Amino acid sequence: MSEYTETDSRSEIAALSHEVYRLTKQLEEQEEHHLRAAMPDKYDPFDNPTEYKGFGGDYSKILPRITEVGYEIPLEPDYNERRNLRRSYSRGGWLMILQLALSSGLAFLILKLIVWLMTLLNPDSDRAALSEYIRGSSMLVSVNMMVYLICNVGLAALGMKWAGIKYTSLVRTNDFGLGRAFQYCMIGALLWTVSLYLITGMSDVFSKYGIDIVPDMSGVANTYLGRTVELVYACMIAPITEELFFRGVLLRTLAKSNQRFAVFASALFFGLIHGNLRQFVLAVLIGIFLAHITLKHGSIIPSIIVHIFINSLSSIIGEVADISQVASVICYLVLLAVALLGMILLLVFLGRDKLPSTTPKQARRGLLVAVGSLPFTASVMIYVLYIVYGLAAKN
């Protein structure tokens, strides 16, 4: 009897020990689960509900420690996180510097080659006459189209490789259809109209000080072929390639930690690259909206459609308004009606989709870190000086 009781007690002790072990493991797993639940999401590390999740990519590449159980992102970035963020901003700056250097250099070399060949074929030709012919024919606009096509696409490919951006991510569109496309195009028309009035006001102010900010386009592409090439570039090639570069690559490169900063920074660069104050105003205004809808839909398809519409509208209005005074008045009335509709649709849009806000942690990882990047800061200064130089040379 005593032997049976001892055996039974050992069995109970073993069973109890096993239960204690099981409960201990269960508690450890639950604790680990809670700790992991409290960890930052590497695709939404700052838990900002106003941002579009996943657009900036995997933040663990910037801050590997967020994959540690129980880790919490500090208010101020440490040395390694700041360095990695600065590298990302530097990529954006280098892309902009390369854009200016390559486009200017390539255009200069091609035009010099054209002049050399024409001089070789016509030794007695006058250089001034040749320059005037190149400007008025389809040559200048064709060179411009070819140069920016090569630079935008080539540098976009380089930027995607640098930042590890997948090609499919640029066109994988969420929640977008014909209704959205119409709404965005009308808003784009409104922003274009507003920019025209802003530019007119700026021109009047600068003109009082003897400064003309309107680019001199007289004598450019006076032939039918030249005008056709200019329209194809403005209405198709430029919108597609610029969206690929600015919203496809640059916006994503700058949006690692702060989407709001990326929207305004990419819009600023988009304005600066146009090289003159007149187009700067329109490009910045439109650039903010195009960046916003790119964030919202995770794709450059919506921004390409709106960009094509704005450029086409601008070209059509310009062509038709020059026919007669009556045609000009009709264009004005149509544009006014479209702008009023665009204003209503913009209010509806902003009521549901506001620009991402910035948390205190993100504020310390946006502009404050970007200005510490030499290529980023230098690229802004170079483009500003380029615009100032253009104004000085013209006036």
DSSP helix/strand/coil, 41: strand
Cα gap 86→42, rounded to integer Å: 18
pLDDT in tens, 26-50: 666 655 555 455 567 888 899 899 9
Residue 14, pLDDT score:
65
Q: Which of 18-22, 127-131, 135-139 has the highest mean pLDDT?
A: 135-139
- List the single range of 7-21, 305-319, 364-378 with lowest mean pLDDT: 7-21
pLDDT in tens, 282-318: 999 999 999 999 999 999 999 999 999 999 999 988 8
Residue 35, pLDDT score:
47
Residue 1, pLDDT score:
46
Question: Is residue 142 pLDDT above 90, yes or no?
Answer: yes
Query: Which band of pLDDT confidence, cut at 50, 70 and 90, is reported for residue 220?
Result: confident
Residue 221, pLDDT score:
81
Question: Is residue 4 pLDDT above 70, yes or no?
Answer: no
Tokens representing 350 are 């902003």
Bridge partners (DSSP) of residue 41 are 44
| Sign of the Cα pseudo-torsion (130, 132, 136, 138, in order) | positive
Residue 303, pLDDT score:
97
CB 261 within 8 A of CB 274: no
Cα gap 395→279, rounded to integer Å: 18
**How many Cα atoms occupy the beta-carbon half-sphere of 358 within 13 Å?**
20
Cα gap 385→383, rounded to integer Å: 5
Q: Which of 64, 15, 25 is nearest to 42 (CA)?
A: 64
The phi, psi pair for 44, rounded to 5°, reads -150, 60
The CA radius of gyration of the chain, in Å to the nearest whole number, is 29
Q: Which of 187, 219, 222, 227 is nearest to 316 (CA)?
A: 227
Residue with tokens 């009521």: 351
Where are the chain's structural domains? 12-65, 79-394
Query: Which band of pLDDT confidence, cut at 50, 70 and 90, is reported for residue 394?
Result: confident
pLDDT over 90 for what percent of the chain? 60
| DSSP state for residue 245 in the 8-state scheme | I
Residue 39, pLDDT score:
61
Q: Which of 103, 60, 36, 40 is nearest to 382 (CA)?
A: 103
The mean pLDDT of 137-144, rounded to a whole number, is 91
> CB neighbours (10 Å) of residue 357?
12
Tokens representing 83 are 């360095």
The mean pLDDT of 194-221, rounded to a whole number, is 86
pTM of the model: 0.88
